Chain A
Amino acid sequence: MTTPDDKTSDSKGGARVDPKLLEILVCPLTKGPLRYNAERGELVSERAGLAYPIRDGIPIMLIDEARSLDKTGAA
């Protein structure tokens, strides 16, 4: 279940990440590409079906901390 509150906190948590840093980031599980979702403040791995949160400007690149895309629908 997604509430409006969830959405607000998601977009608030997403801070800017250096574009040069984004170029070298990959999914820790598949080592495949990541898509930066600025609105949600997430790094999305389509191949793994996971979204890695960025909290206060710190990308959390941990599989255990990632949001599963299956459960909550597409980002």
Chain B
Amino acid sequence: MDAVSIRAAYRRYAGFYDRVFGTLLASGRHAAVAWLNRRGGLRILEVGVGTGLSLSDYRKDNRVVGIDLSTDMLKVAQERVARENLAHVEGLLEMDAGKLAFADGSFDVVVAMYVMTVVPDPQGTMAELERVCKPGGDIVIVNHFAAPRPGIRRTVENWLAPLSKKLGWRPDFTLESLLQGSPLAVQSVETVPPFGLFSLLHCRRQGA
């Protein structure tokens, strides 16, 4: 496929894909926040908070700090916090997920949704998420991980291959590669319906 035909294909399908992917991405976000909302009294770091789409969904007895690399996104998030009076949002900061400006063990929970495939150094970023999480605390990742075996999911992935760049995923990005050399203990991995393209990964920092 040459560039012209790829562009033409995108033009034809752009609206449809946006609807499908908006829904798919939202389902992953909702799954993660629902998981986090089982408990209150926590200090949570949301890495890649973007425009703050999830901020109003958090339990109000949890405190949330959001970081992102994009000033423009953060400004939208800031307006949302003011407009919806989201007092549980403790702060919004511009930060590189691979070079966090938080002290060790600052958070009870660290959550990163659709972040790990767009950072240049996923393993280094995981190490940073672990560092700022309290010993015994939780790290929650929502991401696309490449299907380990051929099957329905692999077929859907192939069907969506032209969009992999737009979605920021890497076809070869596996759970194993993300956690390579990490001392984090995997607690659970669940695929998020529909299609199971995205997974909700829960790890725990050792200690405490």
Residue of B nearest to A54 (CB): B93
How many contacts between A and B, using CB within 8 angstroms?
A: 56
Is B96 touching A59 in the complex (CB atoms < 8 A)? no
* Chain B residues near A6 (CB-CB < 8 A): none
Known: A60-B94, A61-B93. A24 touches B78 (CB 8 A): no
Contacts of A62 in B (CB 8 A): 94-96
Residues of B within 8 A of A (CB): 65, 71, 74-75, 78, 90-96, 99-104, 106
Minimum CB–CB distance from A44 to chain B (whole Å) comes to 13
CA–CA, A70 to B75, complex, Å?
30
Interface: A38 (CB within 8 A): no
The smallest beta-carbon distance between B174 and chain A, in angstroms, is 29
- A25-B74 in contact (CB<8A): no
Flag if B103 contacts A56 (CB, 8 Å). Answer: no
7 A-B pairs with CB atoms under 8 Å apart are A34-B101, A59-B94, A60-B94, A61-B93, A61-B95, A62-B95, A65-B94
